[in-house]
Each structure stands twice: as structure tokens, then as C-alpha cells.
């Protein structure tokens, strides 16, 4: 008799739980977007100043770019702002800028393999053969 009462209590509990219906999934958490001062400055800079900043990031990371001929914003990646810099030697770089101003540089050629934002078609050099400003011929 006691087992029958316990079985009835268990079945009643299961029936009550089943009546509650399926549980609803929790609402998605809002994405937090962090933007630092360096990211804001780069985004609002003139094209020339942005290219100077991107060139410095490329050189500071140990890569080479004599002259940047074009740049554009790419889709953000995680909390990093992404910029494409096209060099006059035909090489393109992605510069990822963190909220704290730290930059990471990756070749656009590696973007697909590394699952990073893909670069656009590189800019065409508007002044092929143009010498760097301030460069003087050797005496």
C-alpha cells in the first residue's frame, strides 16, 4: 500500500511538471560594444592621417609598406575595429585595433584561412611611380 501511495505521488508530480509546458529559452544577451579613444580617432581621421596611423601599425608589427595608396573600414571582428590598408607594392594588410589602442596586423592573403574579415579588392595606385614627399635625390 505504501508503495502505491509513493507511486501515485511521483506520478502526480510528473504530471504537474508536464503541465507547465516547454520552458522558453532565455533572451539573447545584448552584445556589448566597447570603443576606445584610439578607435574613435582612427575612424574620424582624415584619409591622410588614417593612412599614416595604419602605416605606423604595419611597420611597428615588423611588416613593410613604403606607401599606403588606399584604406577602408572592414567589418568589426569581435571587439576589434578592422581596417584594410593597401600598399603601393600590391600587398594589402588588415589592421585590427583594440579599444586600448593596441593594433594587430595580418596579411589580407591570410584572412580566409584564419577566418578573419575578408579584405576588399585592393586600391589602384592613383600616382604610380610617385616619389615619397620630402625625398631628395642622392648627391
Q: How far is CA 69 from CA 10, 47, 89, 99, 108, in A?
A: 74, 10, 10, 26, 15
Backbone angles phi, psi at 103, to 5 degrees: -115, 145
Q: What is the pLDDT, as a whole number, of residue 137? A: 42
Q: What is the mean pLDDT of residues 98-114?
A: 92
Q: What is the pLDDT, as a whole number, of residue 57? A: 95
Q: What is the pLDDT of residues 113-137, one digit of tens each?
A: 988 888 888 877 767 665 544 444 4
Backbone angles phi, psi at 108, to 5 degrees: -60, -25
**Taking a C-beta distance cutoff of 8 angstroms, is the pair 87, 65 a contact?**
yes
Q: What is the pLDDT, as a whole number, of residue 133? A: 44
Q: What is the pLDDT, as a whole number, of residue 39? A: 87
Nearest by Cα to 87 from 131, 41, 60, 54? 54
Q: What is the mean pLDDT of residues 99-126?
A: 87
Q: Is the pLDDT of residue 104 over 70?
A: yes
Residues 6+ apart with CB under 8 A from 58: 64, 65, 85, 87, 93, 95, 105
* pTM exceeds cut of 0.75: no
Q: What is the pLDDT of residues 28-87, one digit of tens each?
A: 777 666 678 888 888 899 999 999 999 999 999 999 999 999 999 998 888 899 999 999
Q: Is the pLDDT of residue 109 over 70?
A: yes
Q: What is the mean pLDDT of residues 107-111?
A: 92
Q: Say whether 119 sits in a helix, a strand or coil.
A: coil
Q: Is the pLDDT of residue 139 over 50?
A: no
Amino acid at each position: 500500500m505504501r508503495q502505491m501511495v509513493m507511486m501515485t505521488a511521483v506520478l502526480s508530480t510528473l504530471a504537474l511538471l508536464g503541465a507547465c509546458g516547454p520552458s522558453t529559452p532565455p533572451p539573447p544577451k545584448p552584445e556589448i560594444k566597447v570603443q576606445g579613444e584610439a578607435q574613435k580617432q582612427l575612424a574620424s581621421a582624415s584619409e591622410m592621417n588614417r593612412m599614416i596611423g595604419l602605416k605606423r601599425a604595419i611597420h611597428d608589427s615588423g611588416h613593410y609598406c613604403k606607401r599606403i595608396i588606399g584604406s577602408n573600414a572592414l567589418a568589426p571582428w569581435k571587439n576589434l575595429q578592422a581596417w584594410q590598408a593597401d600598399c603601393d607594392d600590391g600587398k594589402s594588410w588588415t589592421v585590427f585595433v583594440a579599444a586600448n589602442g593596441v593594433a594587430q596586423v595580418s596579411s589580407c592573403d591570410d584572412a580566409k584561412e584564419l577566418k578573419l574579415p575578408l579584405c576588399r579588392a585592393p586600391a589602384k595606385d592613383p600616382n604610380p611611380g610617385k616619389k615619397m614627399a620630402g625625398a631628395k635625390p642622392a648627391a
